[in-house]
Amino acid sequence: MHATSETVIHTSVPNEGRVAEVLNGRHGRRFRRSLEREGRDFTRLLRKWIYPRLSYTIRKIDSTEGGAVTLQGGTVLKSSKLARVLRGCHDLLCFIATIGPGIDDNIRRFMSQNRLTDMYALDTIGSTAIEDVVDTFHTMMRDTLRKEVKGVSLRFSPGYCDWPVTEQKKLFALVDPVRIDVTLLPSLLMVPRKSVSGVFGIGADIQSPPYNPCSHCGKYSCKERRS
């Protein structure tokens, strides 16, 4: 299977429960009050500032041996933990997702106005939003593939575990980022900043629940740790 496609995630605001967690904190409450003083509606603004898009490609997996993942066409992703995650998978879905430049633009505006609390809260909300976009897509693909008696692995991004962040260049060579206006800088940061790249496997023989490398890792303080 070798296909390239693009989808738009129609969840234009973050999950309400997760946003509530942000806004219930001291910084979040001050941010909401700041917007209310301006006569601005929080939900309407987020719908204006957040424009989620996601581009992906599906590539055939040739091998998950030797501590790496080899794709049809010769691309090699160097991570023994990713290779373990993808055992039982025959295809790899590679994606790049973004919520657009709106959050970045307003963070810069708040910085120029020395509204540091508002800047911090909006940055946290933007991080929540892009994770929700990717989670929504992952769930959507899982539910679609279930009808074909297939499953999906956990998703993995460059920088997770032993997968070097430099491997992000390989994802940008596989996925078309131009259609969703995402650029990879020489520093390996993405523009817009609230963007995420990653992969997950597709297969009929994926264990349930999918293998989680965090269950064999002693780094309990890792912010990416999944229970």
What is the share, in percent, of the chain residues with pLDDT greater than 70?
Answer: 79
Of residues 222 and 194, which shows the higher confidence score? Answer: 194
* Mean of all residue pLDDT scores within the chain: 84
The pLDDT confidence band at residue 192, using thresholds 50, 70 and 90, is very high
Highest averaged pLDDT of the listed ranges 8-22, 67-81, 210-224: 67-81
Range from 74-88, 151-165, 203-217 carrying the lowest mean pLDDT: 203-217
At residue 30, the pLDDT reads 80
The kind and range of the H/E element at 5 are strand 3-7
The pLDDT confidence band at residue 1, using thresholds 50, 70 and 90, is very low
Domains, the chain: 3-216 (3.40.109.40)
Q: What is the per-residue pLDDT across 6-61, written as a single tens digit (0 to 9) for each?
A: 565 555 455 666 666 766 777 777 877 777 777 677 777 777 888 889 999 999 99
Q: Exposed/middle/buried for 143, CB within 10 Å: 0-12, 13-18, 19+?
A: exposed
At residue 101, the pLDDT reads 95
Q: Exposed/middle/buried for 78, CB within 10 Å: 0-12, 13-18, 19+?
A: middle
At residue 158, the pLDDT reads 95
- Rg of the chain over all Cα atoms, to the nearest angstrom: 19
The pLDDT confidence band at residue 94, using thresholds 50, 70 and 90, is very high
> How far lies 61's CA from each of 68, 69, 81, 108, 204, in Å?
11, 7, 15, 42, 13
> How far lies 23's CA from each of 19, 49, 167, in Å?
6, 17, 35
In the predicted model, is pLDDT for residue 96 greater than 70? yes
In the predicted model, is pLDDT for residue 149 greater than 80? yes
